[in-house]
Structure 1
């Protein structure tokens, strides 16, 4: 009993926390099954009297759902792939190469994580406008090539823990650092690659500000479409259809995480602080 009581208490706390985390999504799903009258009713109807499964098909057909989903998938996949590779390359440099001021530069890079996105978004918008890249997907390509401080930190921590003998043996065999990175270090880092891709994909898929600022209605992403295009002809929001669209919007992210769950967990657990 002495062992079971603490374990039972732990499970109770975990179930309670899980319920709190899943509560908003559960309420979203319930809202997606209600009629407009039930949403406006007072007092609040916690559960729908008549489940409206047709809200999902109506939400799917009211906007070009597949078209906006395709735009989001293209942007998120390209961005996540490029930023994962570029962050891995920079993390490798911080972990295995020596240069004057490397520690100071690494500290400055980590300091940029404190900057809110909104501070850098408007200056970058002006730059992209000058370059004629507004209403194109090139900003996400350039952002992907620039790397991300948090992902660079993850790769740097992982590469720092790899044996020095691997690098020395490759140098003896005549390999340069570029070949060492691509042939030895990168194939060994699949857990961090998976975690980095999932994190970056989620960033891009859930981004609302950048697509709103940089893309037109035809080229925008599903996040913008779901949050702003479910309206009546008079401009009133259709909250039940918006909730149904949001539920369908979340599904791809859940599928990506479920497929890559093992690699994601392994990647996050193998990048401890050093």
Structure 2
């Protein structure tokens, strides 16, 4: 028995030594093989050729797609530095021969860019925060509470994403022109002896009040979508978290403010960024509620030809189009910077929300 065990061990040791010697011989053979021969054996194979072709294809495809996407932006940026002489010169296609900052200076000075930037930033922040909190509260209610006609009301909320805002513009305009909450103000005025047919407070047009009210009440752009996103997110929050808070003596408001909102920061940032960007470039509501154009000093309204750049040359249309493109770049630049700083949180929120497309 002992002899058989020792024989097996000897055989294993012999095989190990043979493998070691074979490896040493292979290494020595490779050392003797010329460099070009080894290079041919390693790279001039069918597998390596397929991999190389696939890498080149992906690189060409990536460069082509990047060119298609980025070229319009590059062309607009290059055109913003062109002078009127460059637009007349047929040899200038993309790179300006006489680059100038006159277009930017004229837009900033003549079109009140910084005032419009401050007004748009203030309005967008206020509306974004209002929509974020309102949609979070409504979405939390739809997700965690049971009440009568819950399903029907939620369907009505979803339908607000389908109904065009243009169908509501007349009624909304009249409501804010003769603003009265449930007729309370008019009723009080009639009690005080008012003889007006429609007694109401002064109209809210040409102010930020209409935009703030529709943001708080959930009637602003895409609020139905935001409520749906928050509801879907809160559906994934375990009920045990709230139950543990209730056991510790926390009420509904405290639980929502201390537990639910802090853990929902990525989603809240996502909702805020969407609401902020839509309000930033909004033309529909601002033109509806600001009947006095002198008070509508917001970024979308700076897209016009500054008086100092007016021209009657043959290239007038092309030059004016370039000026409008420059206005668009000045409107877009702050928004891009905000997205760059918030992109990590925004991407995390989009992943959690399940938004696609």
Same fold (TM over 0.5): yes
Match of 1:143 in 2: 214
Question: Structure 1 residue 170 and structure 2 residue 245: aligned?
Answer: yes
Q: CA deviation at 1:175?
A: 2.4
In the superposition, the TM-score normalised over structure 1's length comes to: 0.88
Equivalenced residues, count: 273
Checking the alignment, whether the CA contact within 8 Å between 2:112 and 2:302 is kept in structure 1 is no
Residue segments in structure 2 that go unaligned for 5+ positions in a row: 1-47, 180-202
The CA distance in 2 between the partners of 1:123 and 1:40, in whole Å, is: 49
Please give the residue correspondences for 1:213-232 in structure 2 after superposition, counting only pairs within 5 Å. Answer: 213-215=288-290, 216-228=292-304, 230=306
Match of 2:104 in 1: 56
Residue segments in structure 1 that go unaligned for 5+ positions in a row: none
Please give the residue correspondences for 1:1-274 in structure 2 after superposition, counting only pairs within 5 Å. Answer: 9=57, 12-39=60-87, 45-131=93-179, 132-147=203-218, 148-215=223-290, 216-228=292-304, 230=306, 238-272=320-354
The CA distance in 1 between the partners of 2:139 and 2:342, in whole Å, is: 22
2:129 is paired with a residue whose SS is helix
In the superposition, the TM-score normalised over structure 2's length comes to: 0.69
Q: CA deviation at 1:242?
A: 2.8
1:197 is paired with a residue whose SS is helix
Moved more, 38-47 or 189-198: 38-47
Checking the alignment, whether the CA contact within 8 Å between 1:208 and 1:224 is kept in structure 2 is yes
Moved more, 106-115 or 221-230: 221-230
Checking the alignment, whether the CA contact within 8 Å between 1:30 and 1:47 is kept in structure 2 is yes
Distance 1:75 1:40, change over 3 A: farther
Q: CA deviation at 1:6?
A: 5.5
Checking the alignment, whether the CA contact within 8 Å between 1:55 and 1:240 is kept in structure 2 is no
Q: CA deviation at 1:88?
A: 0.4
Q: CA deviation at 1:82?
A: 0.5
Distance 1:87 1:14, change over 3 A: farther
Q: CA deviation at 1:104?
A: 2.6
Structure label with greater radius of gyration: 2
Checking the alignment, whether the CA contact within 8 Å between 1:155 and 1:192 is kept in structure 2 is yes
Q: Note the alpha carbon deviations across 1:204-262, whole angstroms, 9 max, x for none.
A: 00111222222233332433332235356799874333332321211110111111111
The CA distance in 1 between the partners of 2:157 and 2:56, in whole Å, is: 44
